């Protein structure tokens, strides 16, 4: 590649620079998303306030559709290489797993975007009209009644999506780091933009920002150490360097450790999970849905690539540690989830437990492990998206009623909502005929094949414990009498309905007829170059 | 092993295989349809119609099954998730056919017995019957599946309707009972999932690509090493022991049975629990013969412990539904002893007992439900001398009780006797202990009968239910406005059970003929290793 | 160490040696000055000196990019921000000498020596054992600035372009969180409306809050204004910034209040002495509770 040419024979100063080759077809989805995000910023700048919402919604949906079509065209093209292309001077690897993750991210973002765009559940949308107004002031009370919203969330979402897509296909750690920041920064911002309970939301944003910055620093430090070890930030170079050299292992494992801490933080794997419940609870629910579904996909996508491409040869040394991390994550998620009294926090702890399961799949360094984890990400994303969609519907006068006691007897008030949420909870618990079950099956079978039987047993017990708190919600909804001043269930508008339907149908289809998605998830491995 | 998949010898009368699909789909689709019926009466009638249709469908299935034919019959299979070698495969052997027949038989009875149930306020009648029918489909699926994955799916799927049936329509502590039931079963199910995945992985190592086809797995896994078999066996065993329930894992059953509505309770102890013992026969023995043989003493100890413990607790119970639950635990201990004694008589006896227990305990549960419906209390101490007011009910209570204690001439006697003579040669100690259990059974049944039905009319519930002048002062002569004897519906519900209990007590051959070859085939996988 | 330096010195040109021997002591002096300076602003300025010398040293050692980054980022941006904050908070606010954590000094000493040992070890090893690699290559074709530019626009083109997304997001985030449309109706009152509202009693007080104290020795926002009786005007203090301890101004307070001890008729009277000691004690107490 060009990069090697450059380093191998230094060009004389008179020479012109030649730009790296770019496979535009392959990276078109990313370009579309990032380009549209910039257009969205311009829309904010030039359109009057009342026109922004419709334009932004249309623009964002068109972007997702366009990116999806671009990807379909690329996949449908006969000349597309089966084992992926590495483009832009080796910084991006567009291979099958990356394309699967891109597709997953695009569809999940579509669902989250529909929730973000909804203005019927909460009049005016879940976002504050003017974030700069201090909470609790006269102006703030005035704006609660208004119907405006900060339409900047649309371009911010697209930027985050672009960052996630790059993150999952980054072939070197530097690109990965910048993508990590690109995906994180909009999320930090959007966490603080809730219309209701603004102080809680802002606290969540600050917490997420500070801890996230800390995690980024870990990642960067690890990157620096690995560069010192291998003399390159490319994953393949690090892998080659690690295979049979006498270089200092301290640099390699110190770097890997720090790098992985940064990744585990983003994926909210315990014990690096402490931000998760607070942020999930405080952030506007559509953003929580976006984070829970898409960030997890991106983080584990990145982690899979780092572990499988960069560090497979040294797996013997680090795998034990990640075993421990997976166990801790499952136990924390399952046990602390039992004590929660807030639905959003409960789902947050459930996501920590699920992160433990995903980590099991990620450290099974086989093709089954890869395809299983990819499939699990797809299923989990849809389920959690629908879960937060439903949570946003149960409201009282103060906004969302997320306290568990307020959900008592929900089945009587709204049988459909209760049935949908029950189905989602059963999927999270991994009951057969839901996608959660198939996901668990693929991950655990990959883990068993890779000789991780004890981990599988612990995971199964953790799922049984976690099932208890899912059941508790079902018990509350169906078997308890509704409280007199309980919340009402809002009849959702078209956007939220579409989003929840998308999540539920995907959960069902992936549970009953998973073969096509499994085929797709297993259609190829990471490109190594 | 070569890598070619082993062709299962299953293809007799493929033309009739659609019967199993019908058996599965009729209650499933019927249940979904019933859920949408708003009118209570229509819903009940529709549910009853579907259950009777199902029963009618069982008859040609029974006829189409040839006891002398191959191991699995009426089989059919289609791809489901090719990535894991998972098929939608149905088929029956003698054992599962008998269980399916039991489901078909009990279901109309359960619906008939629930006819006059007062559901908790605000619960829809259609929902209740829909859940019953969906559960029927699930249970038929459990017994008809010949793919381990499919079996697991049904095994877990049955939990959900049962959970809602107990939790929504049960007694005062229904929430607790429902959650306990679900968690126990789910925990067992998840442990079994570990073993199912293990089967897939191990077969993948052997055959090149993993499969979950039952027939293939029995040939592959039974060749595996002792350690592998033991681990996989334990996963299945724990799940089935919870389901059955064997003694240390039984605590969910009394709660669930006590809180469940009567009809649901019949299904719970009559059929759902049989999944556990059926699982021993269908999965544990053929797939892990070496492990089964190794761990048989453990299971026998648990079985005998359950037998005695269940009997003792049944003696001490004051709650009638819990009483029936504990008698069931005792009986399941008996069945487990029969299965793991590994002789053809004992296993045949155990399978026959699985069928008979469904009839006798089902009837006992129904009769108890009728007593409770009259007195409004579940406590034995709230009743007394009821036979004077309701002689017919008292008589049928006695019939059910005698079938429960295995009086000669009732169906249970044949099965218990077979288990005992089958177990005695190889496991004399356990056989003798089991006999003690039989004696205890006579004690607890007759004592309960005596307390409820005999003596002077007494008890708060009974007296409270009596109306009219001087009822409390002179209950014997009071006008019997409050307590009526069985009505036509109740008689219609109980008659088939009484007839079967007595007929099968004298002539069990039709059932024994069907299960015999399957039992032999099951044992064949264990005995060649040296038997006992 | 000196042997290594001597060996290395064999390859350095005279100019470089001169630069080193000038800049080295300056950098060291800056570092020591930073530690020992009593005044925070002086301390920061000493640090600037060290960083500038380091930057120049990088340049002398053919690392012009690193040198400029050192000056622009650290000296230019970071240190100026530091100074800005220090000035804002009050350049004379000094460290509290009370140990908040027990054994802090001991541990600080131990860990400080430890890290010094580590650094010395690392540096000496890098000077003796570790071979220099690829230095020629990095500096070929002009200087390393050129090569850096080249890799930004070829090898790392994509990450470089991607940072623009980061910057756009950051700018937009700042707008979202900070920009308030004050011209909108009901957002901000005109001066006239404000005055009227103040006198109508919609605010706590009709006049603005008093400014900070302006004295010959201090005029930062942290300095409290004094009332005619010599007491501190609480409203002049910011809620956000730690105030300068009021005993710093005890002389001013006394002179304003007229309680300054006169030339001594009652120097030996115990009563005045006693009150003065209790006074200081009180201020100390309030300081601690704060």
- Provide the pLDDT confidence category of residue A512 given band limits of 50, 70 and 90: very high
* pLDDT over 50 at C283, yes or no: no
Task: Report yes or no on C168 lying in a domain.
Answer: no
pLDDT, one tens digit per residue, over B433-476 is: 888 888 888 888 888 888 888 877 776 766 766 655 445 555 55
Task: Report yes or no on A13 lying in a domain.
Answer: no
What pLDDT, on a 0 to 100 scale, did the predictor assign at position A99?
94
Q: Determine the Cα angle at B174 with ends B171 and B180, to 5°.
A: 145
Cβ–Cβ contact B45 with A under 8 A: no
Q: Within a 10 A sphere around the Cβ of A297, how many other Cβ atoms?
A: 27
What pLDDT, on a 0 to 100 scale, did the predictor assign at position B475?
52
Find the mean pLDDT for residues A41-51: 92
Its domain, for residue C195, covers 180-207
What pLDDT, on a 0 to 100 scale, did the predictor assign at position B479?
46
Structure tokens at A2: 């060009």
Question: How far, in whole angstroms, is CA C9 from its chain's centroid?
Answer: 36
Task: Report yes or no on A12 lying in a domain.
Answer: no
Contacts of A6 in chain C (CB under 8 A): 150-151, 154-155
Higher pLDDT, C226 or B333: B333
Task: Report yes or no on A8 lying in a domain.
Answer: no
Question: How far, in whole angstroms, is CA C107 from its chain's centroid?
Answer: 24
Regarding chains A and C, contact by 3 or more CB pairs under 8 A is answered as: yes
- Same domain, yes or no, for C117 and C191? no
* pLDDT over 90 at B3, yes or no: no
- Same domain, yes or no, for C226 and C113? no
Q: A353, A410, A479: which to substitute to probe chain B, counting the most B Cβ within 10 Å?
A: A479
Regarding chains B and C, contact by 3 or more CB pairs under 8 A is answered as: no
Task: Report yes or no on A221 lying in a domain.
Answer: yes
Task: Report yes or no on C282 lying in a domain.
Answer: yes
User: Which of A38-42, A222-226, B74-78 has the weakest average pLDDT?
Assistant: B74-78
Cis bond before residue B51 (omega within 30° of 0):
no
- Provide the pLDDT confidence category of residue B380 given band limits of 50, 70 and 90: confident
Note the pTM of the prediction, 2 decimals: 0.85
Task: Report yes or no on C101 lying in a domain.
Answer: no
Q: Within a 10 A sphere around the Cβ of A315, how many other Cβ atoms?
A: 15
On average, the pLDDT of chain B sits at: 85
- Per the structure, the count of domains in chain A is 1
Boundary (domain end) residue, out of C207, C222, C257: C207
pLDDT, one tens digit per residue, over A156-185 is: 999 999 999 999 999 999 999 999 999 999
Task: Report yes or no on A528 lying in a domain.
Answer: no
pLDDT, one tens digit per residue, over A195-204 is: 888 999 999 9
pLDDT, one tens digit per residue, over C39-95 is: 888 888 999 999 999 999 998 888 888 899 999 998 889 888 888 888 777 655 555
* pLDDT over 50 at C289, yes or no: no
CA-CA distances (angstroms) from residue B176 to A471, B62, B167, B463? 11, 40, 8, 31
Task: Report yes or no on C166 lying in a domain.
Answer: no
Task: Report yes or no on C136 lying in a domain.
Answer: no
Find the mean pLDDT for residues A3-17: 51
Residues within 8 A of C (CB atoms), A 24-83 only: 34, 37-38, 41, 44
Contacts of A182 in chain C (CB under 8 A): 162, 165-166, 169
- Per the structure, the count of domains in chain C is 3
Higher pLDDT, A419 or C221: A419
For residue A517, give how far its alpha carbon lies from the nearest alpha carbon of chain B (Å).
10
On average, the pLDDT of chain A sits at: 90
User: Which of A244-258, B153-167, B270-284, C88-102 has the weakest average pLDDT?
Assistant: C88-102
- 3-state SS of A189-238? HHHCCECCCHHHHHHHHHHHHHHHHHHHHHHHHHHHHHHHHHCCCEHHHH
Task: Report yes or no on C278 lying in a domain.
Answer: yes
User: Which of A86-95, B173-182, C187-196 has the weakest average pLDDT?
Assistant: C187-196
Q: B186, B197, B232: which to substitute to probe chain A, counting the most A Cβ within 10 Å?
A: B197
pLDDT, one tens digit per residue, over A398-418 is: 888 888 888 888 888 888 999
On average, the pLDDT of chain C sits at: 77
For residue C126, give how far its alpha carbon lies from the nearest alpha carbon of chain A (Å).
13
* pLDDT over 50 at C31, yes or no: yes
Structure tokens at A9: 């024979």
For residue C120, give how far its alpha carbon lies from the nearest alpha carbon of chain A (Å).
19
Task: Report yes or no on C99 lying in a domain.
Answer: no
User: Which of A140-144, A331-335, B240-244 has the weakest average pLDDT?
Assistant: A140-144
Task: Report yes or no on A122 lying in a domain.
Answer: yes
Which CATH number does the domain housing residue C64 bear?
1.20.120.1200
What pLDDT, on a 0 to 100 scale, did the predictor assign at position C286?
43
CA-CA distances (angstroms) from residue B440 to B338, B367, B446? 18, 21, 10
- Same domain, yes or no, for C200 and C255? no
Interface touch A519/B160, C-beta < 8 Å: no
Task: Report yes or no on C154 lying in a domain.
Answer: no
* pLDDT over 60 at A241, yes or no: yes
Cβ–Cβ contact C1 with A under 8 A: no
Interface touch B179/A514, C-beta < 8 Å: no
Find the mean pLDDT for residues A13-22: 74
- Same domain, yes or no, for C234 and C288? yes
- Same domain, yes or no, for C230 and C279? yes
Cβ–Cβ contact B492 with A under 8 A: no
Dihedral sign from CA coordinates of B409, B414, B415, B419: positive
- Same domain, yes or no, for C126 and C23? yes
- Same domain, yes or no, for C17 and C57? yes
Interface touch C172/A175, C-beta < 8 Å: no
Contact A413, A486 (CB under 8 A): yes
Find the mean pLDDT for residues C95-115: 82
- Same domain, yes or no, for C201 and C288? no
User: Which of B497-501, C62-66, C130-134 has the weakest average pLDDT?
Assistant: C130-134
* pLDDT over 50 at B229, yes or no: yes
What pLDDT, on a 0 to 100 scale, did the predictor assign at position B8?
45
| pLDDT above 90 as % of chain B | 23
Find the mean pLDDT for residues B134-142: 93
pLDDT, one tens digit per residue, over A294-328 is: 999 999 999 999 999 999 888 888 999 999 999 99
d(CA B11, CA B13): 6
Q: A456, A460, A482, A508: which to substitute to probe chain B, counting the most B Cβ within 10 Å?
A: A460
- Same domain, yes or no, for C186 and C122? no
- Burial code (b: 16+ CB inside 10 Å, e: under 16) for B198-210 equals bbbbbbbebbeeb
Cβ–Cβ contact A193 with C under 8 A: yes
Its domain, for residue A46, covers 21-521
What pLDDT, on a 0 to 100 scale, did the predictor assign at position C4?
46
């Amino acid at each position: 590649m060009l990069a090697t040419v450059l380093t191998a024979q230094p060009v004389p100063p008179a020479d012109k620079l030649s730009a790296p080759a770019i496979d535009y077809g392959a990276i078109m989805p990313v370009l579309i998303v990032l380009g549209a995000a910039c257009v969205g910023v311009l829309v904010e700048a030039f359109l009057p306030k009342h026109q922004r919402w419709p334009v932004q919604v249309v623009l964002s949906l068109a972007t997702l559709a366009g990116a999806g079509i671009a990807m379909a065209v690329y996949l449908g093209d006969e000349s597309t290489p089966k084992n992926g292309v590495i483009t832009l001077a080796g910084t991006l690897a567009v291979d099958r797993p990356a394309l699967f993750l891109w597709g997953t991210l695009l569809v999940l973002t579509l669902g989250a975007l529909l929730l973000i765009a909804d203005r019927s559940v909460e009049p005016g949308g879940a976002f504050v009209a003017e974030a700069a107004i201090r909470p609790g002031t006269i102006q703030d009370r005035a704006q609660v009644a208004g119907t405006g919203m900060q339409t900047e969330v649309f371009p911010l979402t697209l930027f985050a999506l672009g960052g996630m897509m790059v993150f999952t296909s980054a072939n070197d750690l530097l690109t990965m780091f910048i993508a990590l920041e690109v995906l994180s920064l909009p999320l930090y911002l959007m966490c603080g933009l809730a219309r209701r309970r603004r102080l809680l939301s802002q606290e969540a944003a600050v917490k997420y920002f500070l801890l996230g910055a800390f995690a980024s620093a870990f990642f960067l430090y690890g990157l620096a150490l690995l560069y010192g070890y291998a003399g390159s930030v490319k994953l393949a170079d690090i892998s080659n360097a690690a295979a049979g050299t006498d270089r200092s292992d301290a640099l390699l494992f110190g770097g890997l450790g720090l790098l992985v801490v940064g990744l585990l933080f983003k994926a909210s794997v315990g014990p690096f999970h402490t931000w998760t419940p607070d942020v999930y609870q405080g952030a506007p629910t559509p953003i929580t849905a976006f984070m829970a579904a898409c960030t997890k996909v991106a983080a584990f996508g990145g982690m899979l690539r780092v572990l499988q491409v960069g560090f497979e040869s040294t797996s013997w040394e680090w795998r034990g540690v990640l075993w421990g991390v997976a166990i801790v994550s499952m136990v924390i998620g399952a046990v602390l989830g039992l004590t929660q009294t807030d639905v959003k926090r409960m789902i947050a702890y459930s996501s920590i437990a699920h992160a433990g399961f995903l980590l099991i799949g990620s450290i099974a360094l086989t093709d089954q492990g890869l395809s299983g984890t990819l499939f699990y990400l797809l299923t989990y994303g849809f389920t959690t998206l629908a879960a937060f969609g439903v949570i946003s519907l149960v409201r009282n006068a103060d906004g969302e009623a997320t306290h568990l006691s307020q959900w008592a007897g929900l089945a009587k008030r709204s049988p459909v909502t209760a049935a949908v949420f029950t189905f989602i909870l059963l999927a999270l618990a991994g009951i057969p005929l839901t996608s959660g079950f198939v996901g668990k099956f693929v991950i655990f079978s990959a883990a068993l094949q890779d000789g991780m039987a004890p981990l599988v047993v612990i995971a199964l017990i953790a799922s049984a414990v976690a099932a208890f708190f899912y059941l508790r919600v079902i018990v509350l909804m169906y078997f308890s009498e509704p409280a007199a001043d309980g919340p009402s269930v809002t009849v959702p508008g078209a956007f939220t309905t579409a989003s929840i339907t998308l999540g539920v149908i995907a959960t069902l289809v992936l549970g009953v007829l998973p073969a096509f998605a499994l085929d797709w998830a297993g259609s190829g491995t990471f490109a190594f170059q | 092993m070569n890598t070619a998949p082993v062709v299962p010898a299953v293809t007799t009368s493929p033309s009739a295989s659609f019967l199993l699909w019908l058996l599965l789909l009729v209650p499933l689709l019927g249940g979904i349809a019933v859920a949408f019926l708003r009118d209570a009466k229509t819903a009940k009638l529709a549910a009853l119609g579907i259950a009777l249709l199902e029963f009618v469908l069982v008859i040609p299935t029974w006829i189409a099954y040839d006891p002398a034919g191959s191991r699995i019959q009426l089989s059919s299979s289609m791809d489901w998730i090719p990535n894991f070698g998972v098929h939608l495969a149905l088929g029956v052997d003698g054992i599962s056919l008998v269980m399916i027949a039991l489901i078909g038989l009990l279901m109309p009875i359960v619906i008939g017995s629930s006819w006059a149930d007062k559901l908790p306020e605000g619960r829809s009648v259609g929902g209740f019957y829909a859940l019953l029918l969906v559960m029927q489909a699930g249970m038929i699926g459990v017994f008809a599946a010949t793919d381990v994955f499919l079996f697991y799916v049904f095994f877990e799927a049955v939990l959900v309707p049962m959970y809602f049936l107990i939790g929504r329509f049960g007694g005062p502590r229904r929430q607790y009972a429902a959650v306990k039931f679900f968690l126990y079963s789910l925990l067992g199910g998840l442990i079994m999932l570990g073993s199912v995945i293990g089967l897939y992985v191990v077969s993948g190592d052997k055959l090149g690509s993993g499969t979950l086809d039952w027939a293939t797995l029995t040939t592959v896994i039974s060749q595996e090493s002792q350690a592998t078999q033991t681990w996989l066996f334990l996963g299945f065993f724990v799940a089935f022991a919870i389901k059955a329930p064997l003694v240390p894992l039984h605590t969910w059953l009394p709660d669930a049975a006590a809180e469940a509505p009567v009809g649901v309770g019949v299904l719970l102890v009559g059929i759902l629990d049989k999944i556990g013992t059926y699982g021993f026969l269908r999965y544990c023995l053929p797939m892990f013969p070496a492990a089964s043989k190794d761990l048989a003493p453990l299971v026998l100890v648990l079985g005998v412990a359950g037998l005695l413990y269940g009997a003792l607790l049944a003696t001490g119970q004051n709650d009638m539904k819990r009483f029936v639950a504990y008698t069931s635990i005792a009986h399941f201990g008996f069945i487990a002893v029969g299965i793991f004694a590994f002789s053809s008589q004992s296993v045949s006896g155990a399978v026959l007992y699985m069928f008979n227990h469904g009839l006798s305990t089902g009837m006992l549960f129904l009769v108890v439900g009728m007593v409770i419906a009259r007195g409004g209390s579940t406590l034995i101490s709230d009743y007394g001398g009821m036979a004077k007011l309701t002689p017919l009910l008292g008589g049928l209570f006695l019939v059910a009780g005698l079938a429960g204690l295995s009086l000669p001439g009732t169906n249970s006697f044949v099965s218990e006797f077979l288990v005992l003579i089958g177990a005695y040669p190889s496991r004399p100690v356990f056989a003798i202990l089991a006999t003690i259990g039989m004696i205890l059974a006579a004690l607890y049944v007759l004592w309960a009968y005596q307390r409820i039905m005999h003596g002077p009319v007494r008890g708060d519930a009974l007296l409270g239910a009596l109306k009219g002048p001087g009822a409390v002062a002179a209950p014997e002569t009071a006008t019997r406005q409050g307590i009526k004897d069985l009505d036509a519906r109740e008689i219609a519900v109980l008659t088939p059970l009484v007839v079967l209990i007595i007929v099968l007590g004298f002539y069990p051959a039709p059932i024994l003929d069907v299960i015999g070859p399957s039992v032999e085939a099951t044992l064949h996988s264990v005995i060649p290793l040296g038997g006992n | 160490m000196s042997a290594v330096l001597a060996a290395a010195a064999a390859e350095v040109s005279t100019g470089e040696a001169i630069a080193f021997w000038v800049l080295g002591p300056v950098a060291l002096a800056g570092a020591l000055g930073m530690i020992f300076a009593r005044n925070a602003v002086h301390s920061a300025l000493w640090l600037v000196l060290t960083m500038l010398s380091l930057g120049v040293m990088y340049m002398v050692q053919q690392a012009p990019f690193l040198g400029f980054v050192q000056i622009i980022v650290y000296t230019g941006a970071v240190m100026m921000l530091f100074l800005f904050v220090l000035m804002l908070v009050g350049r004379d606010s000094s460290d509290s000498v009370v140990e908040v954590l027990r054994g802090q000094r001991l541990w600080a000493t131990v860990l400080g020596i430890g890290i010094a040992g580590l650094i010395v070890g690392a540096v000496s090893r890098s000077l003796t054992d570790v071979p220099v690699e690829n230095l020629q290559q990095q500096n070929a074709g002009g200087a390393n600035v050129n090569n850096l530019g080249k890799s930004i626009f070829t090898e790392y083109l994509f990450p470089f372009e991607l940072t623009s997304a980061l910057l756009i997001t950051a700018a937009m985030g700042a707008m979202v969180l900070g920009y308030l449309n004050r011209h909108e109706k009901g957002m901000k009152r005109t001066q006239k409306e404000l005055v009227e509202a103040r006198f109508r009693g919609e605010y706590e007080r009709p006049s603005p809050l008093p400014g900070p104290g302006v004295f010959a020795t201090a005029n930062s926002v942290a300095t409290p204004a004094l009332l005619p009786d010599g007491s501190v005007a609480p409203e002049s203090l910011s809620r956000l910034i730690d105030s300068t301890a009021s005993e710093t101004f005890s002389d001013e307070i006394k002179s304003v209040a007229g309680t300054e001890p006169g030339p001594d008729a009652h120097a030996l009277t115990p009563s005045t002495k006693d009150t003065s000691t209790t006074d200081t004690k009180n201020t100390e107490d309030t300081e601690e509770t704060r």
